[in-house]
Amino acid sequence: MAPKFYHDDPVWADIDPLPQDDGGLHPLAAINYTDEYSEAMGYLRAVMANNEFSKRILELTEHVISLNPAHYTVWLYRAKTLFEINAPLRDEIEWLNPTALKHLKNYQIWHHRQTVIEALGSPDGEADFIDSMLEHDSKNYHVWSYRQWLVKRFDLFEGKGELEWTEQMVEQDLRNNSAWNHRWFLVIGGRDGRALDEETFKREMDFAKRLVRKAPQNQSSWNYLRGLARHANSTSALKDFALEFADLSRPDEIHSSHALDLLADILATEEDQKEEARQALDLLATRYDPIRAYYWNYRKGLLEQPGAVA
């Protein structure tokens, strides 16, 4: 694309650009801006100083964003402008979609999108757009965080197959921890402490157990399972399940270090099982997860303290 300039553009003839001021000394980490970037920024500083909010600001900020999408100031000023001039917000979303796909790792764009969608008051089309982002990067932190905001803001906990969607995401890659976290958010985390009903709890336990069986060494599914059980104060009920993968009487046939870890926790709470708990932790420290030996030994130390369980 050919560089765009303002000084010979009659639309901008009323503006005296404010050039970059580096003061007297040469600054550190100075960027040798292109003439195009310098000039666009000079005009932006000038209109910001005038508190100008108008249609041409949208063009100017779009231009600067195309040159530097990480410029939070430009995004914030653009958002202000949108609201000051009552710009059509659907158009903004239409413009944001390809822009986001072009700058996948960009941070500011998600906050901007959130601001616009909040004002629009409708989540229509957002789920599809998020899907297309996750196709490029299935663990993008901002995209998932945005989805959580969306679910909460528009109360999508039950609606439009949100739960089925996470199931699909988890099935696609059962190690995608972001998908597991979103599921937790839907079922428990986002619901402001509302109690988990019996049926949902059972459904989620079954879901997690099924996926643990599919990949017994997958940390994500174990974390989810343990989180659920802890939430329902029923960790000790997982003992038989843990034993399926880690039977202390057959120390050569451990199928999951996470099962050993959980088992050690459960045994630590039981009467007269401290020795077994110690054995599980020893197996972890010496054979099945030795890089964390310091941690396992710390856990062994806790066994001596009454009532202290990890």
Partner 1 sequence: MPVRVSLRARHRNMRMKKMAAPKSSSAEAPSAEALSSRLEELPVGSDRIEELSDTENEYEDIGTITQAEQAHIDYLESVTIPIRDEPETESSKAQREAFEDIRPFLEGNPNDFPLNIFGLPKLQREKHAAFLKSALGDYPSKFAPMDAARPWLLYWSLQGLTALGCDISEYREQVTHTFSMAAYPTGGYGGGYGQYPHLAATYAAVLSLTIVGGTDAYESINRRAMWHFLGQMKQPDGGFTMAPGGEEDIRGAYCGLVVLSLLNLPLSLPPDAPARKHGLTTFLDKLGAWVSSCQTFEGGLSAAPGNEAHGAYAFCGLACLSIMGPPKATLPKHIDLPRLIHWMSYRQCAPEGGYNGRTNKLVDGCYSHWIGGCWALAEAATGRALWNRPALGRYILAAAQFEDGGLVDKPGKRPDGYHSCYNIAGLSHVQHNYVYDEAESGAGSVLLDAPWRWKTQGRYQGDVLWGEDDVVGQVHPIFVTPWGAAEECRKYFEAKEGF
Total number of residues shown for the chain: 310
- List binders of partner 1 among 145-174 (CB under 8 A): 145, 148, 152, 172-174
Task: List the one residue from 4, 56, 255, 274 that touches partner 1 (CB under 8 A).
Answer: 255
Q: Annotated catalytic residue: which of 102, 105, 202, 214?
A: 105
Per CB under 8 A, 291 contacts partner 1? yes
Contact status, residue 146 vs residue 113, Cβ threshold 8 Å = yes
SS3 38: helix
Kindly tell me which of 69 and 133 has the beta carbon lying closer to partner 1: 69
CB atoms within 10 A of CB 129: 17
- List binders of partner 1 among 212-251 (CB under 8 A): 214-220, 223-224, 227-228, 230-231
Segment interacting with partner 1 (CB under 8 A) among 51-59, 127-135, 153-161, 176-184: 176-184
Per CB under 8 A, 98 contacts partner 1? no
DSSP string, 112-151: HHHHHHHHHT--TTHHHHHHHHHHH-TT-HHHHHHHHHHH
The answer to whether residue 105 is catalytic is yes
Task: List the one residue from 85, 101, 237, 310 that touches partner 1 (CB under 8 A).
Answer: 310
Handedness of CA 207, 209, 215, 219 (dihedral sign): positive
Contact status, residue 186 vs residue 155, Cβ threshold 8 Å = no
Q: 72: which residues sit within 8 A by CB, 6+ positions away? A: 108
Single-letter residue type at 237: A
- List binders of partner 1 among 101-120 (CB under 8 A): 103-108, 111, 114-115
SS3 248: coil
- List binders of partner 1 among 256-285 (CB under 8 A): 256-257
Contact status, residue 96 vs residue 109, Cβ threshold 8 Å = yes
- List binders of partner 1 among 23-82 (CB under 8 A): 23-34, 37, 41, 44-45, 48, 67-73, 76-77, 79-80
21 alpha-carbon distance from chain centroid:
37
Per CB under 8 A, 21 contacts partner 1? yes
Name the minimum Å distance from CB 249 to partner 1.
Answer: 18
Per CB under 8 A, 4 contacts partner 1? no
Per CB under 8 A, 289 contacts partner 1? yes
Q: What is the DSSP letter of 287?
A: I
Name the minimum Å distance from CB 279 to partner 1.
Answer: 17
List of long-range contacts for 251-255, beta carbons under 8 Å, 24+ apart: 251/279, 251/283, 251/287, 254/283, 254/287, 254/288, 255/216, 255/217
Per CB under 8 A, 141 contacts partner 1? yes
Name the minimum Å distance from CB 240 to partner 1.
Answer: 20
Name the minimum Å distance from CB 129 to partner 1.
Answer: 18
Segment interacting with partner 1 (CB under 8 A) among 1-9, 53-61, 124-132, 139-147: 139-147
Catalytic residues: 105
